Amino acid sequence: MKATLPPEAYGELYDGISKVLFSAEAIATRVTELGEQVSADYNGRYPLLVGVLNGVVPFMADLLRTITIPVEVDYLAIASYSAETRERGLVRLEKDLDETIKDRHLLFVEDMIDTGLTLNYLLQNLRAREPASIEVCTLFDKSRRRLINLPIKYKGFDLPDRFVVGYGLDYRGKYRNLPFVGLLKPEIFQPNNR
């Protein structure tokens, strides 16, 4: 991977960060380690990596470049009906998979897992299509917010129960392009606290 710019180079976006939690270098190192694990575990099985747009794109792209075995990639797109239904894990599928997954080995790739409700819904949906196997890989895990137990085979980092952005994680569509992950300043997502 090419060298990344220092956090300060992101100007206005960086100004919204109170603290960098994971540097671009730390993320790159961990993604490489995950890619090596996936390559070893799936050798000879030609897995299909499945992600949910849009947040997973940076992680999926970097993970793909570290996997040394043949793989395919497909994406889902979902929309939550409201904040209340999102908290219950109810989502609307806006884009389904293009690939047939019956008898395929699936690796479900997530940028972040928190409550687990949405992921649980998606995994149930995919299991009904009779894949040979499904495993979960997440770069960031907010296990303190977990409401449902999920089997996570590959995990990058544990996140604090704070509002974080960067490396695909966003706030109102911004900050996804930061190559690092940091704490968002509270005054940005809680404007009444100023």
pLDDT value at position 163?
Answer: 93
- At what angle are helices 24-41 and 57-66 packed, to 10 degrees? 60
Choosing from 62, 114, 158, 161, the catalytic residue is: 114
CATH code, 41:
3.40.50.2020
Q: Which residue has the tokens 């030609």?
A: 46
pTM of the predicted model over 0.85: yes
CA atoms within 13 A on the CB side of 6: 2
Whole-number mean pLDDT of the chain?
A: 91
Q: Which two tokens stand for residue 177?
A: 């392009």
Is there a catalytic annotation at residue 15?
A: no
Looking at residue 29, the DSSP 8-state letter turns out to be: H
* Domain assignment of residue 87, yes or no: yes
Domain that holds residue 42: 24-159
Give per-residue pLDDT as tens, 110-142.
999 999 999 999 999 999 999 999 999 999 999
170, burial (CB in 10 Å: exposed 0-12, middle 13-18, buried 19+): middle
Q: How confident is the model at residue 5 (pLDDT cuts 50, 70, 90)?
A: confident
Give per-residue pLDDT as tens, 32-91.
999 999 999 999 999 999 999 999 999 999 999 999 999 999 999 998 655 565 566 578
Name which residue leads in pLDDT, 145 or 193: 145
pLDDT value at position 58?
Answer: 97
Q: Which two tokens stand for residue 16?
A: 């919204």
- Average pLDDT in the 21-31 region? 97
* Domain assignment of residue 191, yes or no: no
Query: Left, alpha or beta for 142 (phi > 0: left; psi -120 to 50: alpha)?
Result: beta
* Domain assignment of residue 139, yes or no: yes
> How many contiguous H segments (helices) and E segments (strands) does the chain have?
6, 9
What's the number of domains the chain is made of? 1
pLDDT value at position 82?
Answer: 57
* Domain assignment of residue 14, yes or no: no
Q: How confident is the model at residue 194 (pLDDT cuts 50, 70, 90)?
A: very low
